[in-house]
Structure 1
């Protein structure tokens, strides 16, 4: 008897087939060695639209809301271009999967979708929608290397054991449908004038918008303040100079300029004494291993043009190619069971590095700690070394590999020196403080060539006399907070604003482990992208800013709970608690349904305010020239440049994906068509021959003698 394995994507199915040495591929699946391996393309099924339950919901009407189905149902996912049509590829693949499951020689089904909430329901909705009586198992893997696949298949679990994860996934999906459908519809009807894009309202979307709004307002309302600093330059008895800053009552920034002016005057003709000297050797540990949010923050901050969404896509590609472990993780440490595997991976990835002999495997608590792992361990490389990567993949892979190697390099060490210089004048209460730093051990900083700037102070002793050779009073202005970047926004989302200042704080770790967050590692990038797409935020350089529409949503939309980080964080924590069987799916959904019902009624009772007016400009159709067949205007369409008289049967068209031009790696442009229609001939530059050489040619588009179709003729330009 055979087992059917269902994966989330074709690439993962190929990884499992490779591990099992199955070469036989058929339409929609692999078969061999006791297994049939088939695949989804992410979600093949989606929840019904409101109108699928009740045809009156096809038209939005305030009276029809709130709308909460008594029984949630699934259908084949919609075509991305036409929501009223089923996606052809999804429908075909579902039919293949169902036919395989129904085969008499199939004894069991194994879901091998990603080991997370979303992966669980992708597999479960496909399998249980068929209502099969065959046993269902779960393959739970953190990476797709051959060793792990074979080990995983020997240790499959009954899928029924994954019920809490399924409950959490279903709860998230149904809750977001109910909140999104109801509040988006009602908000659009209440606050938007004119037909067009809806006003998107979402459980994760709005609190994320509010984080950006609050920072924008803090900058807008910031009132700069003047402050002053006093510095002095001292000379030791052996002619060495150093600088210090005046500090009084632990404060070196003074609002009152006169205070410092009096001290400055009192420095005249004075000497000073070294009142104290502290020298401390400090250890600097490497930053923790990456979780997804930290990886996204690191890459978007370091490289221009990168977004969180792009980092996730590239990391997902590396994961599916077996080069890194599961990327959608919130953990920054590894499970203790991975000690041997990690040692093996380290032996592979360190080979050939100039500091290879400094890389030593150790079972450190900063790296291996079960108490700080939530569902998945941190991201690390696998033992498979990539032979070829795209430039983008190289950037992400190298960041992950380097961060991994750093954990097993010597701890960096530096020496910090602090000198207190007291003026020999009893009227001056404070002291001048000088700080120096010298790097002693480079350690893990070698991996990414982290520069450490040394500030070297002269060798002095306590009670030693020094002379004052210069002093200056400088004025400064307090600076406003900085706009959020994707890096700082992800940090706030990760803990719903708790402990986000320090990436390694215990408070932050506790928030992550409890699931108290806005969204999940898998969805945060998508949320930021959606905020841009719906026009609530915009990007300037790396800064995220609210648009006028975004500001109006925050200021006008009355359901303030949806902007509250605490409220959203608690909802996300409840989903995490459902996974841990501390809360039930039904109780969570009842809470969501009640909240949505109350929210809809509150919006209905609000005053009518227009926060978005959609005006449609009539699109001006540009005539590119006269049709050579009938003389009517030729215009640009979605797929080609054709005659505007096509309804009456004129067949003149130049297709945008013209096959003849495509053989020379060229597509017709608007300018090219204009010239052709005007002159009957057009010079096309930069054509590519079969051998890859570039050339120019004169092109003529001639009508066939025996029908109304056209063909290209080409004359080489000398």
Structure 2
């Protein structure tokens, strides 16, 4: 009997091999051996999607002409696939090994896409027609105990649900392909004809997300500062005066006279006197308890790292993936804050070890939560693919412990290197090389430790007692209007004490005041009346974190949908996209130059972004409603209630209608005028100044995403200009003030401790100068004059001036 395990990625596959006890090389994508599953167990790896939808020219060579709009829309009668050229070896290797199997275990990532990756491989390789016994395994973490647990017999599930989910994912990918392939070509071509170049991609999630972002900034652009009038009262007290708030409140809207309306309201309720008598209608003091929130989703971790460490979304995304791959944290791409019973148990057992790992030894004692309250945090679904981000059973070593590990591995690696030198045959040499790779230890980074500490603290909050506080309330009736005051004081920090400390300063609770000690129901009080005047505040510019986190813009897309039925669907599915597709949507918006993101993660919509949003406004593809409809159909497909072709046919119909109505909505002069206006505004927002070389373009910051910031630069918006200043100058980084000085023809600040190629340190200014070889202005160093002594000793030891 043979059991074949299909992994989604090579590093995932090698983890399976290692912890199931299968010997393998450090670069293996396939290996076999005896395991508790089967004496002959084979692990074979994919590399994400090994097959992809064919390009348009596959269906007809005429589609190679990207400027021929008359042949669009393209709606293939049958979708064709091809094996990606760069992954052909992996596909055919998987096909060969899967054919040997009596039992196949799909162990790809625990989401719909993971199921689709496996289904496509088995379908295109002909395995599905062979009636193999196929089971599903859901990975939760890349460490030994979790991996062994996921392959236990009772954890393995029938494949039917995964294949239905895969069918839904495939239908969605085909529908997305139809939208992108047709509408992106159409708008890119037609705008280019108007002299507006760019890649004007259209897609269900990215276009709807862009629409939400633009709506946010439209609120800022349209914002009008208005007054807020609110009636308050003050009661004298032996300690501090008590301020009473009321619902007698008017907020201006720019259309009406708010002050006059407020005065009419005061007259109506007879609240015009400076001193009035009120009667106490309610006075109470309650001791309350709250339990910690459910654990972290991917969006929550973005928010936590932003608040605790000031991290960008990109840094958080990269670090959570590294900690997952190294086995310290569970699967990161999750939208669930729940855990299973086994995870709850092991976290409780490892409570003190986790505290030790993050330097909080003996700081907290474990609290056993009552069974009735645990239900809030634990899912009853056995082997659920939707679980929160928590630390795994592999506890991260402390810095001191890691030093000992490094020393141990260094000695073992040296021994292996000696064995390699002494090897007399190929087999011994290869064995030694494997040991060298095995004992090459990569030290943990500061970022990994910082994130791990946040994850540990947030996760262990469910093993801490409730937060207890006292809530005091006083209500005074004046002419049948309730005026109230409240204050809160803590009794016990409980679970709040273990949470990561935020960089933001939190308001401290004022000293508690138990109103029952001074006031009684029915008591009459003298109240001094006064008006509180404030102003409305505009929304702040959007950050990447606000897009992603729980309660962020994409999750709350339902607020922008008027149809209650579709708004409810969007609310139930937690908005636009998933934790994985939201990342992809934002990356795509930035790569297509619809938005720019600065160093503080603040989003700015570009001219191209405003233009495509304006052109698609009111169309189905730009509305979250389309996603709501898709999600409804998507769920029905996953449940086996609908045929996937229904979604594809509806998408094809929508695209055809958009092509049929295109010409009547296309007004070239109006489009060009709108683009000039929005592009001009965008450049004013991000420009550091005019280009000193061509004088036509503006100098803007250009982030390097592929190299993770290595090639960040300041460049010219004029595509014909080659002017560039790299952010990094030797071992130093230019600030925006430096760049502003340079492009204005001035010197930068004095750069100290600049390290040259020889390793020597020096000081210099930088100023732009013309480089004949590069035919461009480039940064050139200016060195301070060396200080010389104005006096020197003569032969007799007397000092004389040298100048």
TM-score tier, shorter chain, comes to 0.7 to 0.9
Aligned equivalents of 1:512, 1:405: Cα separation in 2: 32
Q: How far 1:354 sits from its partner (Å)?
A: 3.8
Aligned equivalents of 2:315, 2:22: Cα separation in 1: 32
Q: How far 1:126 sits from its partner (Å)?
A: 2.6
Q: How far 1:303 sits from its partner (Å)?
A: 4.4
For structure 2, the residue ranges without an aligned partner over 5 or more in a row are 35-39, 253-257, 356-360, 399-443, 680-690, 695-710, 712-729, 733-752, 763-803
Aligned equivalents of 1:479, 1:356: Cα separation in 2: 41
Q: Secondary structure at the match of 2:164?
A: helix
Structure 1 position 304 matched with structure 2 position 306: no
**1:238-317 equivalences in 2 (<5 Å):** 239-245=238-244, 247=246, 255-256=259-260, 266-267=273-274, 276-300=282-306, 303-307=309-313, 310-317=315-322
Q: Match of 2:118?
A: 123
Q: How far 1:196 sits from its partner (Å)?
A: 5.0
Q: How far 1:434 sits from its partner (Å)?
A: 2.9
Q: How far 1:429 sits from its partner (Å)?
A: 7.0
Q: Secondary structure at the match of 2:204?
A: coil
**1:389-404 equivalences in 2 (<5 Å):** 389-404=444-459
Q: Match of 2:365?
A: 357
Q: Match of 1:656?
A: none
| 8 Å Cα contact 2:227/2:535 also seen in 1 | yes
Q: How far 1:149 sits from its partner (Å)?
A: 2.6
Q: Match of 2:396?
A: 386
Aligned equivalents of 1:372, 1:420: Cα separation in 2: 50
Structure 1 position 345 matched with structure 2 position 347: yes
Q: Secondary structure at the match of 1:12?
A: helix
Q: Secondary structure at the match of 2:241?
A: strand
**1:642-653 equivalences in 2 (<5 Å):** none
| 8 Å Cα contact 1:203/1:562 also seen in 2 | yes
Q: 1:586 to 1:508 in 2, by over 3 A?
A: closer
Query: Bigger shift: 354-363 or 122-131?
Result: 354-363
Q: Match of 2:408?
A: none
User: Please, which of 366, 389, 399 is the counterpart of residue 376 of structure 2?
Assistant: 366
Aligned equivalents of 1:246, 1:158: Cα separation in 2: 60
TM-score of the superposition, structure 1-length normalised? 0.73
Q: How far 1:487 sits from its partner (Å)?
A: 4.0
| 8 Å Cα contact 2:566/2:628 also seen in 1 | no
Q: 1:509 to 1:381 in 2, by over 3 A?
A: farther
Q: Match of 2:625?
A: 566
Q: 1:95 to 1:356 in 2, by over 3 A?
A: same
| 8 Å Cα contact 1:495/1:508 also seen in 2 | no
Q: 1:271 to 1:173 in 2, by over 3 A?
A: closer
Q: Match of 1:519?
A: 577
User: Please, which of 476, 480, 484 is the counterpart of residue 538 of structure 2?
Assistant: 480
Q: Match of 2:228?
A: 227
Aligned equivalents of 2:492, 2:731: Cα separation in 1: 55
| 8 Å Cα contact 1:110/1:138 also seen in 2 | yes
Q: 1:387 to 1:473 in 2, by over 3 A?
A: same
Q: Match of 2:509?
A: 453
User: Please, which of 74, 80, 84 is the counterpart of residue 73 of structure 1?
Assistant: 80
Aligned equivalents of 2:605, 2:383: Cα separation in 1: 35
Aligned equivalents of 2:180, 2:250: Cα separation in 1: 51
- The one-character-per-residue Cα deviations of 1:14-38 (angstroms, maximum 9, x if unpaired) are 2211211223327533332223323
Q: Match of 1:408?
A: 463
Aligned equivalents of 2:455, 2:649: Cα separation in 1: 42
Q: How far 1:167 sits from its partner (Å)?
A: 0.3
Q: Match of 2:386?
A: 376
| 8 Å Cα contact 1:24/1:32 also seen in 2 | no
Q: Match of 1:318?
A: 323
Q: 1:492 to 1:602 in 2, by over 3 A?
A: farther
Q: 1:498 to 1:371 in 2, by over 3 A?
A: farther
Q: 1:586 to 1:466 in 2, by over 3 A?
A: closer
Structure 1 position 331 matched with structure 2 position 330: no
Q: How far 1:498 sits from its partner (Å)?
A: 3.4
Q: Match of 1:544?
A: 603
User: Please, which of 6, 24, 47 is the counterpart of residue 53 of structure 2?
Assistant: 47
Aligned equivalents of 2:326, 2:567: Cα separation in 1: 30
Q: 1:49 to 1:595 in 2, by over 3 A?
A: same
Q: Secondary structure at the match of 1:522?
A: helix
| 8 Å Cα contact 2:136/2:158 also seen in 1 | yes
| 8 Å Cα contact 1:372/1:509 also seen in 2 | no
Q: How far 1:513 sits from its partner (Å)?
A: 8.5
Q: How far 1:62 sits from its partner (Å)?
A: 0.7
Q: 1:2 to 1:43 in 2, by over 3 A?
A: same
Q: How far 1:147 sits from its partner (Å)?
A: 2.9
- The one-character-per-residue Cα deviations of 1:129-155 (angstroms, maximum 9, x if unpaired) are 222447254333333332333343343
Q: 1:492 to 1:466 in 2, by over 3 A?
A: closer
Q: How far 1:122 sits from its partner (Å)?
A: 1.9
Aligned equivalents of 2:20, 2:538: Cα separation in 1: 59
Structure 1 position 37 matched with structure 2 position 11: no
Aligned equivalents of 2:151, 2:384: Cα separation in 1: 23
Aligned equivalents of 2:148, 2:567: Cα separation in 1: 33
More helix by share: 2
Q: How far 1:174 sits from its partner (Å)?
A: 1.0
Q: Match of 1:91?
A: 88
User: Please, which of 151, 154, 162 is the counterpart of residue 153 of structure 1?
Assistant: 151
User: Please, which of 468, 474, 477 is the counterpart of residue 419 of structure 1?
Assistant: 474
Q: Secondary structure at the match of 1:204?
A: helix
Aligned equivalents of 2:512, 2:613: Cα separation in 1: 51
Q: Match of 1:83?
A: none
- The one-character-per-residue Cα deviations of 1:85-121 (angstroms, maximum 9, x if unpaired) are x43xx2343344345446x6x5554332112111112
**1:697-716 equivalences in 2 (<5 Å):** none
Aligned equivalents of 2:327, 2:369: Cα separation in 1: 22
Aligned equivalents of 1:35, 1:96: Cα separation in 2: 15
Paired residues, what number? 603
Aligned equivalents of 2:555, 2:83: Cα separation in 1: 35
Q: 1:225 to 1:2 in 2, by over 3 A?
A: same
Q: Match of 2:716?
A: none
Q: 1:577 to 1:271 in 2, by over 3 A?
A: closer
Aligned equivalents of 2:206, 2:69: Cα separation in 1: 23
Q: Match of 1:188?
A: 188
Structure 1 position 435 matched with structure 2 position 486: yes
Q: Match of 2:682?
A: none
Q: 1:512 to 1:288 in 2, by over 3 A?
A: farther
